[in-house]
Structure 1
Amino acid sequence: MQRENFKGHCWILLVILMTLFSSTYSGANSAINKQADAQNLDVYLQQIIGSGSFRNHQNTEELNRVSAWIKEQMRLFGIPCQFQNYIVNRENYRNVVCSLNVRRADKVIVGAHYDVFEQQQGADDNASGVAGVLETARILAQEKKNLKHNVEFVFYTLEEPPYANTEYMGSYVHAKSEQAQRDKIQGVYILEMIGYYDAAQTQEYPAGLKWFYPSHANFIAAVSDIDSRGLGENFCAAMQNLECQRLVAPSITPGINFSSHSNYWKYDIPAIMVTDTAFYRNKNYHTSADTLKTLNLEKMTQVIDGLVQAILK
């Protein structure tokens, strides 16, 4: 995830919008069966993080290791994948694009970036999101007969600086490639840091938002622009045991475009970011302290189960 400076007058607009569109959901659907497995997440996370090498833009060998492992893992789920290759500064980079085809005309996209900032393990940012997409794929492959849409799973490269907010982001490359088919895309769910929770910690917010949101740091958030607000509402409504907060604001509002979802907005494709709020909560953000031991795998399973139900519905 990327971080930028904010402009105060834009946040005033955001606060006004929040009073109109924000909602809290907790335990909305007690009938949801737990399907995501914390042990599976642990295995995925260890494979993504690896040992001693860092999957940043300078280390294409490690990026290629991770993307090849993702492709093979998805194959084991019965979901075929292809590399979406592109070149930046004479280096080869690749997204992993995987299709769960149930012969429908339209589709849903679920994605996460697998690269990291500098020399960090990036457990929350964003191995947690990648692991979440993998476990979602495993479950939906088993629920294939119940799917109402095709599902495309995408694992992006080059989300982090120095390529953040540029046309070299893997999500920009993918979104651009989908523009001709945008009318067939029901929605895009981007998992961006979904693993850090602390009920005793005080949640931080941009100026003004603390009056509208919980003080505790123990919820998942769905961030959308106005056109994508239905996706956020459906996602939060599908959550079972974990509190879910919605943030809805115009796509031009600073601070809601920190991740891959915003590149789909550029092509009028509805998309939301599912997040633990990143640096507003997790002080390990972009440091060497962002390690596997800081993640709450059980709460990650709750996020995944909610996402699965939102897609199935």
Structure 2
Amino acid sequence: MKKTWQDGKLFLLKQAAMLSIFVWCSFAANANNIRTAEPDNLKVYLEQIIGNEAEYRNYKNIQELNRVSAWIREQMRLFGVNCRFQTYTVNSQPYRNVVCPLNAGHSNRVIIGAHYDVFEEQHGADDNASGVAGVLEAARILSAEKARLKQNIEFVFYTLEEPPYFRTESMGSFIHAKSIAKEKDKISGVYILEMIGYFDPKVTQEYPVGLKWIYPSHTNFIASVGNIQSRDLTSSYCAAMESLKQLQCERLISPSFIQGVDFSDHMNYWQFDMPAMMITDTAFYRNKHYHTEQDTLDKLNLDKMAQVIDGLVKTILNLK
């Protein structure tokens, strides 16, 4: 059959349409291609946070606490997020949180936080360098995905979470929570990372009394812990983890009198009636190196830590 000029024009139009569909599909695929957490990055962060083996970032060693907080601020600056120190005084000594807002142009915001101090003289790799490294890696990814955010984010690194200041108004998280209490209606949720790196297949998972019949005995899961007010936060996080099809997520919605459910910085946001949850490997219910000198970097599973962070990133990006 003889081809006409109209046939040629129709062919070109079809080709152009096909190319447009291809380009659109490629764009859509890229739009869904969210950056993922990198275990190698986590290792670098952990090494920097832990620092010199002869120095411990406890409440007595303000110089070491200041080294860590200054390094955190500089690392966040490299991600394009500027931070300020929230300084306060305890027993005539200065301590500081690191507060790092990521403004995406919205009215509401979420808080992602972790404490950087340790208990006594220990390296505190899991407790809580792992949580700090997790917040840093989440900040790296979310700052790069800023255009997709539907809420602003405030990354906060707390001091004085550990004894002797635990459950006192000297906790860094209490200082921060109190400072934003008047804005609580604009705070959609608080996500606290507290020990997220310990997954040992040789260990049997333990629980508070009465819970071992409900939850798994293995340690290949991350826990999403909250109260009634924060149940939607815990649900969204576990849903994100489930969609990734990597690390199992277990939810615990509980009143604070069950031992362990409020053993971190989220408790202070609960005091000011803000929805807050804890993402955790369950601390001493699993990690028997908790609050000992054996809580070291070599005990952590960086690949699973990265999966925990990927779930958090997906949760934040799914917020409306």
- Indicate whether the TM-score tops 0.5: yes
The structural deviation recorded for 1:103 is 1.1
Q: How does 1:55-66 map to 2 (within 5 A)?
A: 55-66=57-68
Q: 1:144 to 1:284 in 2, by over 3 A?
A: same
The structural deviation recorded for 1:75 is 0.3
Aligned to 2:268: 263
Q: What CA distance in whole angstroms lies between the structure 1 residues aligned with 2:85 and 2:224?
A: 28
Among 302, 306, 311, which residue is 2:311 paired with?
Answer: 306
**Structure with larger Rg:** 2
Residue type of the partner of 2:160?
A: L
Aligned to 1:23: none
Q: How does 1:1-313 map to 2 (within 5 A)?
A: 35-51=36-52, 52-239=54-241, 240=244, 241-313=246-318
Residue type of the partner of 1:66?
A: V
Q: What CA distance in whole angstroms lies between the structure 2 residues aligned with 1:166 and 1:96?
A: 19
TM-score (normalised: structure 1):
0.89
Structure 1, residues 55-84: CA drift from partner, whole Å, max 9, x if none? Answer: 000000000000000000000000010000
Runs of 4+ in 1 over 2 A off after TM superposition: 31-34, 250-255
The structural deviation recorded for 1:34 is 5.9
Query: Does the Cα contact within 8 Å between 2:35 and 2:141 map onto a contact in 1?
Result: no
The structural deviation recorded for 1:97 is 0.1
Same amino acid, percent of matched pairs: 65
Residue type of the partner of 2:285?
A: Y
Q: What CA distance in whole angstroms lies between the structure 1 residues aligned with 2:84 and 2:286?
A: 35
Residue type of the partner of 1:182?
A: K
Structure 1, residues 83-125: CA drift from partner, whole Å, max 9, x if none? Answer: 0000000000000000100110000100000000000000000
Q: What CA distance in whole angstroms lies between the structure 1 residues aligned with 2:257 and 2:292?
A: 28
RMSD: 1.1
Query: Does the Cα contact within 8 Å between 1:32 and 1:309 map onto a contact in 2?
Result: no
Q: Secondary structure at the match of 1:200?
A: coil
Query: Does the Cα contact within 8 Å between 1:108 and 1:152 map onto a contact in 2?
Result: yes
Structure 2: unaligned runs, 5 residues or longer: 1-31
The structural deviation recorded for 1:205 is 0.8
Q: Secondary structure at the match of 1:98?
A: strand
The structural deviation recorded for 1:198 is 1.4
Query: Does the Cα contact within 8 Å between 1:111 and 1:189 map onto a contact in 2?
Result: yes
- Number of positions where the alignment pairs a residue of Structure 1 with one of Structure 2: 283
